[in-house]
Amino acid sequence: MRTINDYNFSGKRALVRVDFNVPLDSAYKITDFTRIDAALPTIAKILQDGGKAILMSHLGRPKGGYEEKYSLKHLVNDLTAKTGAKVHFATDCIGEDAAALAHAMQAGEILLLENLRFYKEEEKGDRAFAEKLSKLGDMYVNDAFGTAHRAHASTSIIAEFFADKCAGFVMHAELDNAKKVLEKAEKPFTAIMGGAKISDKILVIEQLLERVDNLLIGGGMAYTFFKAQGGEIGKSLVEAEKLDLALSLMEKAKAKGVNLILPEDSIVADAFSNDANTQIADNMHIPADYMGLDIGPKAIAKFTEVIKNSKTILWNGPSGVFEMSNFATGTIEVAKAVVEATKNGGFSLIGGGDSAAAVNSLGFGDAVSYVSTGGGALLEYFEGRELPGVKALEA
């Protein structure tokens, strides 16, 4: 796979698939710039070479056709401020107006296309739509690792229309760091898995059991393991049909010599609310009217001890409902332990989604080794699946 450093973009129109799927508030202001900031070095390289950057992305999940709240026009002012470049905006991602703007661009300028998903053809991987997009550029750069697991028109199909295609800095760094964890992990290797459901993480857990020394299970998925062992978990989240799976994962871990560590206790609440009544409970004996919403003090002590003594750490999924301040302590303490392990020479990869949001909101983004921008794509990579967006660049 070629990377952006293999090319000089002087005089070229580079059609760049970025991941600008950023959160906007009710006034259409960006509330988290992580994904835009990640793409800036790729954009800068193209412009500094004397090239022209044509940026295409999706935003949100439009139901088909234009929706004001999903228009990429809301990003233009911030993109101008962050790049220092002239930013043109095309009110369509294909068609005559987009083509006219693309061909009229001067070196060092940016053209931001309207939301790709205003066309249903994007997610369908429509070849004719991909070909229309391809007419806008001379070369293709994919810097959207977050959508690399989708065989969409702009992420994989489009590549066949270009002789010159490469990975941007984000794509290259994401793959580089994922490979480091998968193939060159220094021991002890600890994976921290959180989130609501085992079913969402089953394949990645099975792959990790082949590689890790320690597997820490937090978040809502932990209670399925306790229920499977005959525990009383009150109103905690449970996947009743996954009890046998939970037990089999525990058996696999034991057979492979992996320390599968479950949280001993929880902060439990009598309602799914930050204002609920709370107490600390052993996870095998949660009161009937209570639910576990964060890992407890004993679990925090055990988890952080293991993490601090690790040389490679993969973290995917928070330890509790960290959006609510009363149930954020577990996630905060895990994050602090990951930072400490990193300071001590460990390598830490934060796996996108909620974990990335937690680390960034706590201000720890620069204190860990790498924060992935691609939750689903990273998980699928760790599951051993082929990512269409990556394969398209290798062809």
Q: Which two tokens stand for residue 367?
A: 């204190």
Active-site residue, selected from the candidate residues 146, 168, 346, 353: 353
- Which listed residue (2, 127, 376, 385) is catalytic? 376
Q: Are 393 and 1 in contact (CB under 8 A)?
A: yes
- Give the contacts of 217 (CB within 8 A, at least 6 positions apart): 193, 194, 225, 260, 261, 262, 263
Q: Show the tokens assigned to 394.
A: 């290798």
As a whole number of angstroms, the distance between CA 169 and CA 167 comes to 7
Are 363 and 340 within 8 A, CB to CB? no
Helices (H) and strands (E) in the chain, counts: 14, 17
> Is 353 assigned a catalytic role?
yes
Q: How far apart are CA 231 and CA 193, in angstroms?
A: 21
Active site residue 375: no
281 forms beta bridges with: 266
The closest alpha carbon to 292, from 283, 300, 301, belongs to 283
Residues 6+ apart with CB under 8 A from 184: none
61 is catalytic: no
DSSP assignment of 107-158 equals TT-EEEEP-GGGSHHHHHT-HHHHHHHHTT-SEEEE--GGGTTS--TTTTGG
Give Cβ neighbours of residue 386 (< 8 Å, ≥ 6 apart).
none
C-alpha 222/C-alpha 319 separation (Å) is 9
Catalytic site residue from 17, 35, 52, 150: 35
Half-sphere CA count of 111, side-chain side, radius 13 A: 25
35 is annotated as an active-site residue? yes
Give the active site residue among 73, 180, 197, 302. 197
**CB-based burial, 15-48: b 16+ in 10 Å, e otherwise:** bbbbbbbbebeeeeebeeebbbebbbebbbbbbe
Strand partners, 55: 16, 112
Q: What does the angle CA 148 – CA 9 – CA 164 come to, to the nearest 5 degrees?
A: 50
SS3 assignment, position 96:
helix
Residues acting as catalytic residues? 35, 197, 353, 376
